[in-house]
Amino acid sequence: MSPPPQIPQGVTTALKTLGLTKYEALVYVALLRVTSATATEIHEISGVPRASVYPVLDRLLQKNLVTVSHTTPKRFNAIPPEEAINSLMREIEEKGAYAKVVLGEIYAERASIEGGGQELIWNILGEANIKSRMRDLIARAQERVEVIGSWVLLEDLQDALAAAVHRGVRVEVIASAWEDEIPEGMEVIVSVPPIWHKESHGTDMAGVLFVDREKVLVAMGGRGEVPTALYSESEGFARFFSRYAELTRSYLGKIRQR
């Protein structure tokens, strides 16, 4: 008996990511090569051990990837690849949607019981991680978003801030610069607070994000440094930086009145 034809490794790997086992992938691909085949023939053309062929076929039948005849011996046929892949992807999407809902409920229940770990202060490393977390916080804002930050920090957050405004969230920004059009409904003050180094002129990736007066993220990072951020829902942490924001706005208000 000639050895079974080789299957490209990438195909087997792709099918495994869609939920098939190695043997299921081998049997399905083997059936695509022929019009139909018995279990014995499948063993010969797929290389799957004879004792494993029927259990594998049963699972493929349950996944609607093969059909079976009512003859003796039974003959099996693979459904077309496009239909098979679409079926597998729908199943993954359905399971993903279900898991998202259930896990979200578990997370919400924990947050309501434990206060969401509000007394903890989390450390976030790296520009991409920091900006991703900021976008997520802005997207979850319900009432108010306040930002004091350099343009380096804010440039990639414009879309998230604009989307918050469109949802009816109040958005207030104090920025070292604002080089694009300001979305309607967003309040933007362009100024460099005195606490920032004059040499940087707001070019460092630095700033503070307040969401709903409860969540605070403080980002820090100069040239040549790995940006870091602190995030917390601690009442004391939020109160401290909220006071800083109020002082900054008050200072800038007085400057503008002179």
Residue 34 pLDDT greater than 90, yes or no: yes
The pLDDT, as a whole number, for residue 235 is 82
CATH class of the domain defined by 119-257: alpha beta
pTM, two decimals, is: 0.54
**Residue range 152-179, pLDDT digits in tens:** 888 889 999 999 999 999 999 988 888 7
- Based on its alpha-carbon atoms, the radius of gyration of the chain, rounded to whole angstroms, reads 29
Q: Hey, how many other C-beta atoms are within 10 angstroms of the C-beta on 82? A: 8
Average pLDDT score over the chain: 84
224: left (phi over 0), alpha (psi -120 to 50) or beta: left
Architecture of domain 1-117: Orthogonal Bundle (1.10)
Residues whose CB is less than 8 angstroms from the CB of residue 56 and which lie 6 or more positions away in sequence, other chains included = 21, 23, 24, 27, 48
Residue 164 identity (one-letter amino acid): A
**Residue range 86-97, pLDDT digits in tens:** 999 998 999 888
Give the helix/strand (H/E) hosting 231.
Answer: strand 228-232
**Residue range 92-136, pLDDT digits in tens:** 999 888 888 888 888 777 666 555 444 688 899 998 999 999 999
Q: Hey, how many other C-beta atoms are within 10 angstroms of the C-beta on 92? A: 13
**Residue range 193-241, pLDDT digits in tens:** 555 545 544 457 888 999 998 899 999 887 778 889 999 988 888 888 7
Closest CA to 223 of 117, 152, 129, 137: 152
- The structural domains of the chain, with segments of one domain joined by +, span 1-117, 119-257
